[in-house]
Chains A and B, each alone.
Chain A
Amino acid sequence: MSKEYTSVSKISGPLVLVENIENVKYGEVVEVKLSNGEIRQGQVLEAQEGAALVQMFASTQDLSLKGMRIKFLGHVLEINLSPSILGRTFDGLGRPRDGGPEIIPQKRMDINGSPINPYSRAYPSEFIQTGISAIDGMNTIVRGQKIPIFSGAGLPHATLAAQIERQARLLNEEEKFAVVFGAMGLTFEEANFFIENFRSTGALERTVLFINLANDPVIERIATPRFALTAAEYLAFDLDMHVLVILSDMTNYAEALREVSAARKEVPGRRGYPGYLYTDLATLYERAGRIKGKKGSITLIPILTMPEDDRTHPIPDLTGYITEGQIFLSRELYRRGIYPPIDVLQSLSRLMRGGIGEGRTRKDHGDLSNQLYAAYSRGLEAKELAVVLGEAALTEEDVLFLEFSEEFEDKFIRQGEYENRSIFETLDLGWKLLKKLPRASLKRIRPEYLDEFWGKEDAS
C-alpha cells in the first residue's frame, strides 16, 4: 500500500516539494488531497533520497504547506483502454467528461509511451486523398504521416482541418478508421466546431475526444496530447484501425511546458521556452507512423498558431524540424479571399514522393507538381517586380508566368469548403494551367510526359 505524507516544504508555481518520504520513483503519479477533500494529480519531476519535486497537473491555488495529504501511487500516469473509448469524451487528464461511466480497462498503458524502434517502422506510402488540390496535388499526404497546420490567429485552420477530416480517404479502400482529437486550451466554441463537424459526418461514434478548454488547468495540457496519442496507439496497433489524430493548439501546449520550466528555474532557451522543447515535442510527434506487420496507422495533424505569424518562432520552428512537412496558411491569401489560404511554397510534404506516381496517383504527378512549384514561384517573383516597376518592365515570358501565378491561386488553390476534387481532377487542372506557358520553359517535366499531357509543340 502506498503511504500518505503530509510534509510539504515548498510550493512554487505548479511545483510542490514533498520531504521525509521513502521510495519515490521518477515520473510516478502523486495524489494531493486538500483539507476540503478535493484531490488533485501531479507527477514526480525529480526523485531524491527522502524528497520529491512534484509537478501538479492542476493549479496550486488553495494548496498549503499544512493539512494536505500526499499519496505516491507507485506507477506512472496511465490510461484505461478498451474499445468502448470510441465515442467518448474525456478531460485533459483522461477522466470522463461526458457524464458516462469510467472505462473498464482491457489494457492500461503508460501515457508517455515508448519510442517506436526505428527498425520496426514501415515507411508510410499510401496516398490519402483530401480532395483539396493544394494538398493532394502539391503536398500530398500519406497514411502514417505527421504533418502540422501552421496557422495564425484568426486564420481558418479549423475549417481546413475539418474539411480534411470530412473528405480524407484512400483511393480505393474502405477500412476501419477512427479519429482522436486532443484539444489544448481551445475555447468552447473552437472545440465545439470540431465536435459538430465530427457529428455531421457521422464520425462521432468513431471519435475519442480529450478536451482541455481555455479555462481548464493550464498544466494539465502537458498530459493531454499524451493521453490522445496513447489512445491512438491502442486503436492503431492493438485494434488495427487507421487513426487520424488532430491536436490543437500546440502553441498552448508549449506555453504550459514553458510555465513548468520557468518554475523550475531552468536555463531558458529561445523566448523562454525550455532547451528540451525539441525533444519534448519529438516524443509526441514521433508517435505517429506505421509499424511493420501491423495493419493500423497513426496519421497526425497538429495545429499550431504561429505567434505574430512568425515561422521562425520556436514552436513552429521546432515542430517543422520534427514533422514530415507542414501545411502553411497565408494571411495574405486569406485577406484576398482565397480559401483554403494555403501557401504552397512554404508548405511541404516530405513523404509525398512515396505516395505518388504510377500505381498510386498517376505517373506525371511528381514532375507536374515540381513544374507547378517552379512556375508559380517564378510568377510571384515577376509579380514582385511588376508591383514596383509595372508590367512593362518584365520580359514577355515573365508576363506569362505572372498571369500563370494569378490563375494558379484563383483556380487551383482556391476551392470551396465542401468542394471535393479527385486527384485526377486536380492533376488535369494543373496541366490546363501550364498550357499557357511556353513548352520550352517547362524544364521540370520529362519530354515524354509533356508529349502525353501537355501536347506536342504548339502549331503557332
Chain B
Amino acid sequence: MEGKIVRVAGPLVVAKGLPNVKMFEMVRVGKLQLFGEVIGLDNDLVYIQVYEETQGIGPGEPVYALGEPLSVELGPGLIGQIYDGIQRPLNKLAEVGGDFLSRGLAFPALDRGKKWDFESRVKVGEYVEGGDILGVVQETSALEHRILVPPNLRGKILEIKSGTYTVEDVIGILEDEYGNSHELKLMHKWPVRYQRPVKEKLPPQIPLITGQRVLDTFFPLVKGGTACVPGPFGSGKTIIQHQLAKWADAEVVVYIGCGERGNEMTEVLIEFPELKDPRTGKPLMERTILIANTSNMPVAAREASVFTGITIGEYFRDMGYHVALMADSTSRWAEAMREISGRLGEMPGEEGYPAYLASRVAGFYERAGLVKCLGKEEKIGSVSIIGAVSPPGGDLSDPVVQATLRVTKVFWGLDARLAFSRHFPAVDWLVSYSLYLEPVSNYWKERVAEDYYSLRQEAMSILQREAELQDIVRLVGMEALSPQDRLVLETARSIREDFLHQNALHEVDTYTSPYKQYLMLKNIMNFYKVALTLIEEGYPLDEILKMPEREKIARMKFVPEDRIKELEDLLEEVRKRLEGIKEGLREYV
C-alpha cells in the first residue's frame, strides 16, 4: 500500500492515502524509506512517528505500509549484540553506513548467514505447546539458548531434526489442531508492544544478588522485582546500573541506554568482554544484550527502545532464565513520549507530559515479574526491571518519578550531597526502601546467617539515631553528648564509611558476596557492642577508638573473597581484646 506525505514536523509525519493501515503498523517514509510507526489515525490522515531524522523529507513523497507492527527478532545471535531502539544492529550499520548514522538502512537483527548447532529435544509425533523447548543451541559458553515453540502455537511435531542451521532454516514442522502445518525455525518474531504470555505470575521471593552492599543488605531487590533509581545528574544512576549489569546474579542482562551518553555504551562494549562473571567465570558480554539509542539519536526510536528491550528480556525469561533489565534513563523515554504527544497536539497533562504517562510507565513495569513460563515442563523465569529516573533538578515531585514510585517496589534514592562528598553509591539510607525485605530476610536466614536480618535492623536504627543526634549536635555541640551517644555516632560513621561506601572502581571492593557483606556488618556491630560494654564499665571512649582493630575494620572491604577467613578471625580478635581490656580494668579498679 502506498500513500503520500502531507506534512513533516520533526519526528512527526502526516500522510494520506493509506485507508487500511492499522495503529502501530510499521511504515517506510519518503524517498529515503525511513522507518516509522503509525501512532494516530484521523479520518484519512495517518500520523506517523519516524524513527530516523526527517530532514530533507517533504510533502508529496511516498509512504509504504509494511502490514505488521514493530516487532523484534528472537533467536540465537542476540547475545553480545548492540542494537538501536528498533533493533537494528549498530555494528552492521557502522560497517555499511560509516561512523555516523546514515538513514534508511535496513538490516535484519539476527545474522542470516551464521550457522548454529541445534540439538533437538522433542520427538516426531510428540504434542507440544507454546513455550515448550524444541531443542537447544549453545549460543555462548555462558548461555544455552533454548528454542521454544512460539507462544501462540500448539500441535503435533511432524518433523524435527538436529543439525547445523541458520535462523531461517526450517528445523521442523508442526501440525496444529486444524491440520495446518507450520514451519519451525530457530527464530520467531514478536510485536514489541505486546507482553509475551506466561502461565502464571508468582510473588517474587529470591533476592537478586548484586554484590552492592547498600543494595543487597539494606534495600534488597528480588528476581522479578522492580526498582526505581532517581537522582540528579552525577549522583551515580548509571554506575549503579552498570554495577548491576556486571554483578547481578542473572543469567541474561538487557541494558537499555535510552537517551543517554554514547560513551557510556562504548564503555560497556569495551569493559564487559574483559570482565568475568564471579559465579561462572565466563565473560560478562556472553550474557549481555545492549540497546543503545543515545540522546542524540532520533527520539521516536528512543520511545521504542524500552519496548524492544523488555520484549527481548521476556523471551529469555520464557526459556526459564532470570533476566535483569536496566533502563537508563526512563525519563528520556518519557520525554520522547512528551515530544511526540506535543507534536500530535494532544492535551498535555502535568509538566507537558501526555495524560497517559502514568499508565505507560505502569504498563512497562508490569512486564517484570517472577513467572511460571509457558510450556508443559515446569520452568520458572523472571524479568527484573531497574529503571533510572532523571528528574529536573533532582526534584522527586517530578511526574515521571511519581508515576514510577507508584508501581515499583524498591526505591534507591540518590542524594546530591552524598555524591558531592563522594560517598558512593549515593543511596540515601534514610529515604530509600525495599518492600521485599521480608521474603529476602527469610532467604538470608536459611542461606547466609541466622542473625543477618537482625544485624541489618540494628545497623539501620544506628543510622537513624545518628540523624537525630546530629540535629542535637548542630544545636548544642558535641560536648552535650554522652559517651554512649558519641559511640553511636562513631559506629554510624563506621557503617557509612566501612560498609555503605563502596568504590565501584576498586578491583576488590566492586563486588561483595552476601556472606562477606554479613561478616563486614557483623564486625562493625560486634565492635559497637564490645565498645558499649566497655563504656558501661567506665572505660573512656577515646581510648576505645584507638583500638588497632578499628583500622582492620576500615580495611575489610579490600579483603578479597578468598581471604574471607580474616574477617571471621577479626570478630574473635575484637572479642579477645575486650577480654584483655576487661582484665586490665578489673586490675585497675
Contacts and interface: CB of A to CB of B under 8 A. Distances in A.
A114 B339 contact: no
B421 A377 contact: yes
SS class, residues of chain A in contact with chain B = mixed
Given A119-B269, A266-B342, A443-B554, A312 B395 contact: yes
Contacts of A76: 55-56
A351 B270 CA distance: 14
Interface residues of B, number: 75
A118 B476 contact: no
Contact of A49 (B60, B265, B335, B394): B60
B505 interface: yes
A19 interface: no
Interface in A378-411: 378, 385, 388-390, 392-395
B536 interface: no
Interface string B71-98: 0000000000010000000110110011
Interface stretch (B2-10, B181-189, B457-465): B2-10
A390 B390 CA distance: 39
Contacts of B101: 114-117
Nearest to B395: A312
Given A48-B6, A48-B59, A294-B99, A374 B91 contact: no
B263 A49 contact: no
Interface string A43-54: 001111110000
A4 interface: no
B263 A351 contact: yes
Interface in A105-141: 110, 112-124
Interface string B551-582: 10011001000000000000000000000000
Contacts of A47: 7-9, 57-59
Contacts of B58: 23-26, 28, 47
Contacts of B392: 270, 312, 314, 317-318
A247 interface: no
A116 to B, nearest CB: 6
Interface stretch (A192-200, A274-282, A428-436): A274-282
Nearest to B58: A25
B152 interface: no
Contact of A286 (B257, B296, B476, B498): B296
Contact of B505 (A348, A351, A353, A374): A353
Interface in A233-288: 237, 266-270, 275-276, 278-279, 282-283, 286-287
B422 A117 contact: no
Contact of B56 (A27, A119, A385): A27
B497 interface: yes
Nearest to A442: B554
A444 B503 CA distance: 9
B281 interface: no
A440 B261 contact: no
Interface stretch (A80-88, A297-305, A321-329, A417-425): A321-329
A278 B99 contact: no
21 contacts: A24-B58, A25-B55, A45-B9, A47-B8, A47-B9, A48-B7, A114-B101, A116-B101, A117-B93, A120-B94, A123-B270, A275-B342, A278-B335, A287-B296, A289-B263, A312-B394, A317-B393, A348-B234, A366-B505, A389-B476, A443-B555
Given A110-B55, A270-B351, 4 more contacts: A25-B56, A26-B10, A48-B59, A393-B478
Nearest 4 Cβ contacts at the A-B interface: A393-B477, A312-B393, A282-B295, A377-B421
